[in-house]
Each structure stands twice: as structure tokens, then as C-alpha cells.
Amino acid sequence: MLILRGVNFGCVFVGAGTLNFFGQGWPWHKFAKLIPGFDFTGATFVSKTITLNPQKGNMPLKNNFQPVEFFPRCIKVNFLKAVAVNAVALSGPGAKALLETKKWQGLARPFFISFMAIEPTKEKRLQETKGFVDLLKKYLPGFKSKIGLEINVSCPNTKHDPKKLAEEAIDYLDAASALNIPLVIKVNALMSDETARSIEDSGLCDALTISNTIPWDEVPAKIRIKCFGSAESPLKKYGFGNGGFSGRPVLPMVLEKILGLRDFGITLPIIGGGGITRPEDVVAFSAAGADAISFATASMVRPWNVRPIIRVSHQFLGGDR
């Protein structure tokens, strides 16, 4: 169970993007709900990662923030291998448009808003983060529930190097500290142990979320070929990054990173995720040293396992909120 600054966020998180911006889900979910086990009750909601300003990305959205395409072409899934690759690139209307709907403000249970700065330079990204913090601070008094902020420094589809972004995390945490809410940094499994140490030593971070998707080119070629028939990304046409790889083959990479961080002496709470598609995967994350788990791709490739994953998480990681 993860209690951050006195707020009980439970032990299982629905990864950013799984349930859209406000928890409303995606168009195909109306069919998935017919599948026994497709039930997120008991898990903590994390919003789709937002940006300060509107971001076109690669997934066009309607005015209701649902995708124009029922099955977005910037997402490819291999259901048999339980994997996905996406190049969504944080499509969204910007923070102000989302806050003005007042839908977050009406949520009754603690949740996280996920945010990422995407400007081209470090200085501008810090400025962007400060702008977002100032904006969110104005709206915070209207929130019904307690919230946390997940600072995403690891999206592989925004023309940034996630390793370098992780090294900037302390600056973003310092800016966000003015909110006086729980702060979580979202990294991928390629982050160095030394970067994790500096984040922990800053005293500004309440937990780490490990892992975001892995950049396509950082996944071993034999795995890419096995899962998608080629070492070349099916999303190559979208340009930079070739997409983020997620699903079952990522699991060993994430477990190894969490084990390594604990051996390195990192004591920050860790929300572990990446490749969780079965309830028994939760047990492996608990054994590796995760304090809570986060899952996302399972909702697409193994929707019948959503409820069992949540149930086992409560059994191994700590009860109800």
C-alpha cells in the first residue's frame, strides 16, 4: 500500500493513458466491458499524460477528447505475444482546456495527473513546467479529492532522449514542490542507478514509477522480430523514436532494474510496471522490491486479467484504500 504525504493511493495504479484523461476510457472499452474481468475497481486512476499547451501528436482527437480513429493507426498490437508499440506522442488539448472541464475536480477518490514538459530545450521545459504548476495551483482548491502529480520524463515519442530528461527531473520536482502534493517521477527501465540516487537525495520526490514504454530501438532486435516480424518498427513512418514498446517482453527488463535499484540502496517507494499481463506477474514485482504496481498494456492484450491483477495486488501489496 502506498501512502504519500498522508494520502492513501492504494497498491495498484492504472497506468497513464489506459483510461484516457478523466477515467472515461476509450471507444473500444464499451465492448471490452462485456468481457468478464475487465473491471478497474480498486485501482488508482492516473490520467493520460498531458502537456501545458495543445499537442497534436499522432492521434487526432475529437472535441470530446476521444480519438478520431476507432483503432488509432499510431498503435500496433500483437495480441498473441501480448505486446504493443505506440507513437501517440502525447496528443492532447493542453492543460487549461482539460482543467476547465472540471471533470478532474469532480473525481471522488485520490488519483494522479500525469504531466510532461516537451519544449525543445531544458530551459524552456523548465519554464513550461513552472507554467503548468502555476496553472494547476489556481485550480487545486476546487478538487474534491486529494491528487498527486506524476512527472513523466520518459515518453519516447517527443523528440527527446528519456535518459537526458531523467537527469533534469530534480529541476521539475523543485518547480512542482510549490503545489504541496505528492510528486512521482515516471522513468523507463533504462534510467541509470546514479540518476535514481540523485532524485532520491534531492528529497523532493515521493516515489518512482518504473517503467514507461521502452524506445523501440532499445529493445533487442530478436524480440522486435519475434513480436512484429521485423527489427524495423511498424510505426517508422511517424518519425522520431519509432514508438514505445510495451507488454510482456519488457517485464524482465523492468524487474532487473528494480532489483538493481534496491541492491544499489535506493529506498524510495517504487511503483513497478511494464509487462504485467497476468496476476502472477504482480508476485514477481513484489519480490523484486516494488511497493505498488502499475499496469496498462494488459487492458488491451489481456482484458480478462484486469480484475485478477488488481485482486492479487491487494493480496500481496497491501489491502484496500
How many other CB atoms are found less than 10 A from the CB of residue 216? 24
Does position 58 have pLDDT exceeding 80, yes or no?
yes
Q: What is the pLDDT of residue 163?
A: 87
Q: Give tens-digit pLDDT for 203-221.
A: 999 999 999 999 999 999 9
pTM of the model: 0.97
Domain 3-317 fold is TIM Barrel (3.20.20)
pLDDT of 174 above 80: yes
Could you tell me if 276 and 295 are in contact, meaning their C-beta atoms sit under 8 angstroms apart?
Answer: yes
Q: How far is residue 202's CA from residue 14's CA, in Å, rounded to a whole number?
A: 27
pLDDT for residue 200 is more than 90: yes
Query: How much of the chain, in percent, has pLDDT values that exceed 90?
Result: 96
**CB under 8 Å to 20, separation ≥6 — which residues?**
26, 47, 48, 65, 66
Q: Is the dihedral of CA 204, 17, 168, 126 positive or negative?
A: negative
Q: What is the DSSP letter of 275?
A: S
Of all residues in the chain, what percent carry a pLDDT higher than 70?
99
Q: What is the pLDDT of residue 319?
A: 58
| Pairing relationship of beta strands 3-4 and 183-187 according to DSSP bridges | unpaired
